[in-house]
Amino acid sequence: MYFLYVKHEQVCRHCKGTIVPGEEAVILRIKTAYGTFPWLFHTTCYEEWAHNSFLRRWQNWKSSAKKRPPRKYRFKPKMGRPRKYLNPYKARNLQSLLNYHRRMGNKDRVVELEVALKDLELR
């Protein structure tokens, strides 16, 4: 959308009236497969046209959404290795603590951490 002062007499796309030279106008470039086409409007006509076209497109969307069946999405199967733990971040933390306490020789804490790690496993 561009604003300009008209150099030559043009026709407004909305009201079909003439836009005289020197008058302010709005140009909207419509892109298609065949090229771009300029649509000229009076500044006041463009505001009304844009609002009406928005309402029309919104109503079309609302009415077509009721008729259309809901989309069926294809679920892509999970790739890679399946999960071993419910919470892998917590499991990784417990594993590192388990290794540490094994090296330090804290047998009671090792048993405690092994039980906690077993509880996190998926069955």
pLDDT at site 103? 97
* Structure confidence at residue 112 (pLDDT): 97
Helix 107-120 × helix 88-104 angle, to 10° = 160
In the predicted structure, residue 13 carries a pLDDT above the cut 80: yes
Distance in angstroms (rounded) separating the CA atoms of residues 51 and 30: 17
| pLDDT of the residue at 69 | 75
Burial class (CB in 10 A: 0-12, 13-18, 19+), 19: buried
Span 43-48, mean pLDDT? Answer: 94
Per-residue confidence band for 28, with pLDDT thresholds at 50, 70 and 90: very high
Residue that is written with structure tokens 């076209």 in the block = 53
Q: 67 pLDDT exceeds 90? A: no
pLDDT of residue 75: 77
Question: Model-level pTM?
Answer: 0.50
